[in-house]
Amino acid sequence: MAETATTEHETADARGSYKLQALRVLSEVTTSLAGEHDIEALLGRFLGTMMRLAGATAGAVRVAASGGAHLRLVAAVGLPPEVSERERLVDLDCGACGIAMREGEAREIRGLEPCFARTGLPYFRDCCSMVVVPLRYQGRILGTYNLFLATPGTIPEEVALLFGSIGEHLGMALENARLERENLRMTLTRERQLMANEVHDSLAQTLAYIKMRLAVAQESLAAGERDRTGKYLGDIRQALDTAYGDLRELLGQFRSRMDPLGLVPALERLPETFADRTGIALQFANEVPDLALTADQEVQVYHIVQEALANVTRHSGARRARLALRERGDEIEVTVEDDGLGFFAPGGPPDEHPQRARHLGIGIMRERAQRLGGRIETANLPQGGARVQLVFPRRAAPAAA
């Protein structure tokens, strides 16, 4: 870099302080990112610092919107209101910004006539130059910092490099936040679908049955057949009891939120609440200290355990139950055992029993297991009692499930 003798010292000084500031920002960016959930707010917070680094009088942060076709303004400082309003959403390819961003490094654009021509806003005619710091991640443009300068000044090479580095970090954070949102959306959609299935399979079926029974009861009443009417009314009463039970169970499931700390703490808390509620002593053995599952996997496992335990309460007549988390090679095994009656006909194939047709709890458990890339195995224990086991691959990529 060429430097004249008179300004050499000053420039070196300025550069040194620039560098220091930029390094400070970089370290602030990297430490803030870990705990930050609202990434747009974070970008806004850094705007002032970025402006100071560039010596800017105004600045704006934009993030890619509409699948990358536009840039949306998320924060602005020092811009006249009509400019912020006009710049709320701009085409990615509208001009100099787009070009600078595609080139992928922080750069200064002198003279903003194209922006003036596009918008007719005098601010751009009078503004001298603009620094564009692209936020990119893996070659994709995710956003930009626009820093407006009253007097043009070359950004020192080191600062440009640091801008690039900051841009990359923030770009990565933006991308992570997007993936997280997408993941959450998918999990929510799937969870709603499963809830709808559960309502359909239990409550809706029972209500449909009540409706049919009511129709025949009315017919037999009209025909003056008192006995048959009485029988149908009895059926209806029984079905209403079932519907009420279904509803309570469904509400219980929908309300049961997993411990925000995750699956293992949630399972650790189960024995106490389970014993209080049911009088059945539950033991939890965790043999996988480093169980690292995704949030979606954890939710599936938790619901499966809950249904298995609900069945122990409803059907087993057990005094004791055991919940275990084990590892077998590449597979995780979650076992719920009890010392009760066992599934129908000991030794028989419990899954095919005709009486199971209306009971869908285990069916839904299987569906959840499939999403984990795994399976549910049921068996009667030789010493009596039932065992339900979820087996799924530790490192499954359940994305396609």
Ligand X SMILES: Nc1ncnc2c1ncn2[C@@H]1O[C@H](COP(=O)(O)OP(=O)(O)O)[C@@H](O)[C@H]1O
User: CA 205, CA 245: separation in Å to the nearest integer?
Assistant: 13
Least distance CB 315 / ligand X (angstroms): 4
Q: Is 386 in the site for ligand X (CB under 6 A)?
A: yes
**Residue 374 corresponds to which tokens in the numbers above?**
């795994």
| DSSP 8-state code for residue 127 | -
Task: Using CB under 6 A, count the residues that bind ligand X.
Answer: 16
Contact assessment for residue 140 and residue 105, using Cβ atoms and an 8 Å cutoff: no
| Torsion (CA) 117, 119, 123, 126 in degrees, nearest 10 | 0
Site string for Mg ion, 330-349 (x = CB under 5 A): --------------------
Q: Is 312 in the site for ligand X (CB under 6 A)?
A: yes
Q: Is 334 in the site for ligand X (CB under 6 A)?
A: no
Which of 76, 80, 143, 151 is closest to 110 using CA atoms? 151
> Among residues 59, 98, 167, 361, which is the contact residue for ligand X, using CB under 6 A?
361
User: CA 281, CA 195: separation in Å to the nearest integer?
Assistant: 29
Site string for Mg ion, 71-100 (x = CB under 5 A): ------------------------------
Question: Which of Mg ion, ligand X, none is residue 58 near (CB under 5 to 8 Å by kind)?
Answer: none
Closer to ligand X by Cβ: residue 128 or 341: 341
Closer to ligand X by Cβ: residue 219 or 241: 241
Closer to ligand X by Cβ: residue 96 or 323: 323
Q: Is 306 in the site for ligand X (CB under 6 A)?
A: no
Residue 198: alpha-carbon gap to chain centroid? 22
Please tell me the number of Cα atoms within 13 Å of 69 on its side-chain side. Answer: 2
User: CA 132, CA 292: separation in Å to the nearest integer?
Assistant: 40
> Among residues 199, 295, 341, 391, which is the contact residue for ligand X, using CB under 6 A?
341
User: CA 21, CA 26: separation in Å to the nearest integer?
Assistant: 9
Kind of pairing between the strands at 320-328 and 281-286: parallel
Least distance CB 359 / Mg ion (angstroms): 6
Binding footprint of Mg ion on the chain (CB under 5 A): 311, 361
Binding footprint of ligand X on the chain (CB under 6 A): 311-312, 314-316, 338, 340-343, 356, 359-362, 386
